[in-house]
Amino acid sequence: MSVTLTAPSTPVDPEHPRFWALPSVRFGVRRLRRLLISLWVLVTASFAMIHLIPGDPVRGALGPTAPADLVAARRHALGLDDPILVQYLHYLKGLVTGDLGTSLASQLPVSDVVAQRLPATLTLAGLAFLTAVVVAIPLGVVMGVLTRRGRGRRTELAFTTTSVIVATIPDFLIGVALVYVFGIQLGWLPVAGDATAPAYVLPVFSLAIGPAAILARIVRVEMVGVLEADFIRTARAKRLPARAIYVGHALPNAVTAALTVGGLLLSTLVVGTVLVENVFAWPGLGSTIVRSILTKDYPVVQAIVLVYGVGVLIINLVVDVALALLDPRSKIRED
Amino acid sequence: MQGRWRRVVRTPLGLTATVLVVAVVALAVLGPMLWGSGAGAVDTDAILARPSARHWAGTDNLGRDILLRVLVASRLSVLLALLATVISVVAGLLLGSAPFVLGRRTGRLVAAGVNTAVAFPGLLLALFFAVVFGVGATGAVLAIGLAGAPAFARLTQTLVAGVAARDYVAAARAMGIGRFRILVRHVLPNIAEPLVVNATIGAGTALLSFAGLSFLGLGVQSPSYDWGRLLYEGIGTIYVNAPAALAPGAAVLLAGLAFNLFGESVAKGLGVPVAGGLRGMGPVRAGSASGPERTGRGEDAGDRSPEVVLDVRDLEVTISGPSGPVRPVRGVSFDVRRGEAVGIVGESGSGKSMTALAVTRLLADQGRVDASRLEFLGNDLLAPDTTARRRTLGTTLAMVFQDPMTAFNPTRRIGAQLAEVATRHQGMSRREAMARAVDRLTAVRIPDADRRARQYPHEFSGGMRQRAMIGMGLMGAPALIVADEPTTALDVTVQQQVLDLLAEIRDADDVALILISHDVTVVGEVCDRILVMYAGRIVEDLPAADLATAARHPYTRALVDAVPDMNTDLAEPLATIPGRPVDPADVPAGCAYADRCPLADARCAAEDPPLAADPFGPGDPSGVADPSGLGDPAGHDPAGSPRHRVACWHAGEPLPARPEDRNIDDLVESP
């Protein structure tokens, strides 16, 4: 192993560190590196997916009775006859130019399929996350205040138990229950499609309830911790009204941890659309990917996996950056 | 061990989860045997029937009984979930222990891979693997198993790293035992428990995920059926027969919850127990019955004059502790006049910080504050909070806390934290408040205050933060600054700056100061008057000038003697006070200091001396205190010289050993 000696460091003015030594710049570089590595892993995995399938994917897709020349033609169309490295480079080139291949089922460009389906999924996930946050943060703050410093043991137990149970229920089961209660028994809300505004209610809540329970629990725990912090005593010494202390001083500090978990929840939530979309016949990526897996329409599957994966990476990035802005110290912490 | 398991069963949730898990497993074993044939029986007369007495949950499109099918499906559902969990755990163990076995370089690569994979939700990984392994039960088991592996790998990594740092692993390594052997012999047995607990939770998650895949049509395929498959079939006919979807849904939910909650309960039960039953203010365990009564006899703070800023009478603080209420402050009376600097000294646990928090009304959450009078500038601090009172206190009563590193909100800029006082209480606009904040920061000698105001607390040094904290108190027009150990957390070099700053503010604006410290020198230097606290009471109240020469309580004298000065013989060990401070939960009857006092006699052990005016005045060390304790009631010298109060039956009596000729064994704990 070669040893690199650092150049004898010239004394750096601590008030004005050099550009590359700035905490925010170092954070940016580190974060960008991680993003690029993850992106590379994701792209490679999505490329490799089709090659990892045991046997001939085209033969598998077309069935054992398909004529050999059709299989050969399809293999050629997919570029599967080229050396693997050529295929990989071809795939990367396609991604850069926005060419995601052609759907085997519909013969449409995959990018068109994705573009057509993506908005419905994004809307669903976005609304669900918003709902979860809007429900969870006030709930968590109130529970935190009620159970601070060992108060309200019963409230705490009831809340914790309920939230654990609710958080464990998978979104598609919540969806089925909501369909039964509000769609069938009460007949209040439509249970399929995204044509009207009321049609959004059930899918959004199916997705939001679980994350809201988890988030509220975390906000509560964080609030209880933050309310014991010295700076809360300082805020009280400033004689701020209770609301200003809880919302202005405690919440921002409780939210940093909640945000980390919230980001994780958001990425689970985005992928969770796959199941919920299938409960509610939602015309998004989730129903498309399942249909494509069943019909072995591999280019579409590859593309949608990639879209979900990129979505997750973007969410993680946004969370980290938001965290750095909210809690300036987190920039300095190495992970 | 047994006790720990019993604890799991004892909580209602744990018991429910345990019963459910046993029921699910029993059902999985027995279900197909009991109802296997019934579940397969095709009844063409009753296709898609609604629930009836014969078919409780109706029938499917071949007329098969749905309830029986749900019961029978338990075996396949549980079995597939367990198989997937086994795959997750095994793959996770391999990946997670790889860094330990393979050494740093390869290990880091594996760890990085695991960390990348963990960032993606399990369902996405499961879909990926479902494509690779193909649609069907086998593919789904592999998919869910492998999708769960990164989480287990991460867990294993953390656990292994924890155990690997222990001594016996290091010892085994030093003996040249191979890494793999160490892993199997020493590491794995020690992480088995958390792994098993997490695997139980994982089984619940796998069960639910599997239902998800089957529900999507990617898992179990007809004619086999698990709960997810039944749900998939049932949802299509939910308008015709809702129980066809609800029954398998409920089954999978119940089973998944059972495993999950069982795992959670076990995890909690095996962990550190949370002590319960601490609430409520029962009878005070010790100290109160034998303590001084809260009436006249006790401490006398003297007459109230308009000059009095803070007036405290018979202050008591009660805190609920793990073994009943504790009373860290047991009847404290004093006042602080305009511009006066009062020091409160005492060892940790003497109640000085509690006193400070109580008189500034900052104890609300922690304990109960009682007093016969607690007034600040004529405001009753025991009365409920009002906006007007908050405004008065917010602008006239300033606090400086011990640890400047934690006293500022880390997420907000310093300037904004100062400005908040002005916008909230002084009706200033944001801009005006900011200008005021910069002005105040300049006043406490923060250089380049304009720029500094826009920085976050972590960009400030400790000394600067403490000055900024003082500046925060100066946003209004303080009549009193309460500084609780303001220099303890600071470097020696900046301590003096902070003290000088406080003294300067006091001189300039006639601000009263309460300085709390365990350092008798610091207090003597800055303050006019000193309150010496011991075990929740004031034992002596004396002018700072008298501290070195005319302290009358043996404790005060011991405190002063414990400070080395120019004449201290450095060849000898420094003086300390023998014995330990009193535990606030267990205050003895009589004088709390008796145990450590060289003058103590039988009376001291039986009767707690009241804080009363020192009848002999400064400079008269010969007399014995008036035993009635009722000397000059106001404690005021007619000439108007500073008051001197002391709580000791033997106040001013010569100590057996004076510093000049002290017998070291008396004052110093054996080295």
A165 and chain B in contact, CB less than 8 A? yes
What values do phi and psi take at B533, rounded to 5? -105, 145
A299 closest CA partner among A129, A59, A71, A47: A47
A contacts of B249 (beta carbons < 8 Å): 173, 176-177
Residue B44 has what pLDDT? 73
Distances from the Cα of B76 to the Cα of B24, B41, B80, B226, angstroms:
12, 18, 6, 6
In terms of pLDDT, which residue wins out, B304 or A36?
Answer: A36
Burial class (CB in 10 A: 0-12, 13-18, 19+), A148: buried
Show the 3-state SS of B163-206.
HHCCHHHHHHHHCCCCHHHHHHHHHHHHHHHHHHHHHHHHHHHH
Residue B281 has what pLDDT? 31
**Residue in chain A lying closest to B214 (CA):** A275
What are the b/e assignments for B529-541, b being 16+ CB within 10 Å? bbbbbbbbbbbbb
Match 């089954």 to its residue by tokens.
B251
B contacts of A309 (beta carbons < 8 Å): 120, 124
For the stretch B35-64, pLDDT in tens is 877 777 777 777 777 777 777 777 777 778
Residue B489 has what pLDDT? 79
User: What tokens were used for A281?
Assistant: 């016949």
Query: Is the pLDDT reported for residue A165 higher than 50?
Result: yes
For the stretch A274-304, pLDDT in tens is 999 988 888 989 899 998 888 888 889 989 9
User: Taking CB atoms and an 8 Å limit, are B120 and A326 in contact across chains?
Assistant: no
Match 């601090």 to its residue by tokens.
B381
CA-CA distance, A256 to A325, in Å (whole number)? 10
Residue B667 has what pLDDT? 45
Residue B315 has what pLDDT? 92
**Residue in chain B lying closest to A292 (CA):** B131
CA-CA distance, A41 to B118, in Å (whole number)? 12
Residue A80 has what pLDDT? 77
Q: Are B7 and B273 in contact (CB under 8 A)?
A: yes
Helix or strand run (H / E) with residue A48: helix A23-52
User: Taking CB atoms and an 8 Å limit, are A161 and B13 in contact across chains?
Assistant: yes
B109 and chain A in contact, CB less than 8 A? no
For A311-316, what is the mean pLDDT?
Answer: 89
- Nearest residue, CB atoms, B360 vs list A60, A237, A290: A237
CA-CA distance, B622 to B654, in Å (whole number)? 7
Query: Is the pLDDT reported for residue A209 higher than 90?
Result: yes
Match 């499961």 to its residue by tokens.
B126
User: What tokens were used for B430?
Assistant: 């944001």
CA-CA distance, A168 to B207, in Å (whole number)? 11
B123 and chain A in contact, CB less than 8 A? yes
For the stretch B236-255, pLDDT in tens is 787 778 888 888 888 988 89
User: Taking CB atoms and an 8 Å limit, are B472 and A238 in contact across chains?
Assistant: yes
B376 closest CA partner among B313, B300, B448: B313
- Nearest residue, CB atoms, A231 vs list B231, B406, B424: B406
Q: What CATH number does the domain located at B2-270 have?
A: 1.10.3720.10
pTM of the model: 0.75
Does residue B430 sit in helix, strand or coil? Answer: helix
Q: Are B512 and B336 in contact (CB under 8 A)?
A: yes
Q: Are A129 and A271 in contact (CB under 8 A)?
A: no
Q: Are B355 and B349 in contact (CB under 8 A)?
A: no
Q: How many CB pairs under 8 A join A and B?
A: 188
Question: β-strand B373-376 against B308-321: which pairing, if any?
Answer: antiparallel
Q: If you compute the radius of gyration of chain B from its CA atoms, what whole number of angstroms results?
A: 36
A contacts of B406 (beta carbons < 8 Å): 229-231
Residue B641 has what pLDDT? 41
A contacts of B391 (beta carbons < 8 Å): 239
Does residue B512 sit in helix, strand or coil? Answer: strand
Domain ranges of chain B: 2-270, 306-661
Q: Which CATH number fits domain B306-661: 3.40.50.2300, 3.40.50.720, 3.40.50.300, 3.65.10.10?
A: 3.40.50.300
CA-CA distance, A27 to A244, in Å (whole number)? 32
Query: How far does the CA of residue A2 sit from the closest CA of chain B (Å)?
Result: 15
B118 closest CA partner among A180, A41, A15: A41
User: Taking CB atoms and an 8 Å limit, are A316 and B119 in contact across chains?
Assistant: yes
Per mean pLDDT, which range of A159-163, A289-293, A327-331, B55-59 is the poorest? A327-331
Residue B627 has what pLDDT? 40
User: Taking CB atoms and an 8 Å limit, are A253 and B364 in contact across chains?
Assistant: no
**Residue in chain B lying closest to A157 (CA):** B13
Burial class (CB in 10 A: 0-12, 13-18, 19+), B481: buried
For the stretch A78-126, pLDDT in tens is 777 778 888 888 888 888 888 888 887 788 888 898 999 999 999 999 9
Residue B275 has what pLDDT? 28
Output the CA torsion B140→B144→B146→B150 (10° steps): 170
Residues 6+ apart with CB under 8 A from B380: B374
Question: Which residues in chain B come in under a pLDDT of 70?
Answer: 1-5, 8, 270-306, 322, 364-366, 565-570, 572-575, 615-642, 657-671
B324 closest CA partner among B581, B534, B583: B583
Q: If you compute the radius of gyration of chain A from its CA atoms, what whole number of angstroms results?
A: 25
Predicted ipTM of the assembly? 0.84
Residue B279 has what pLDDT? 28
B387 closest CA partner among B444, B358, B427, B435: B427
CA angle B320, B346, B506 (to 5 degrees): 105
B contacts of A179 (beta carbons < 8 Å): 238
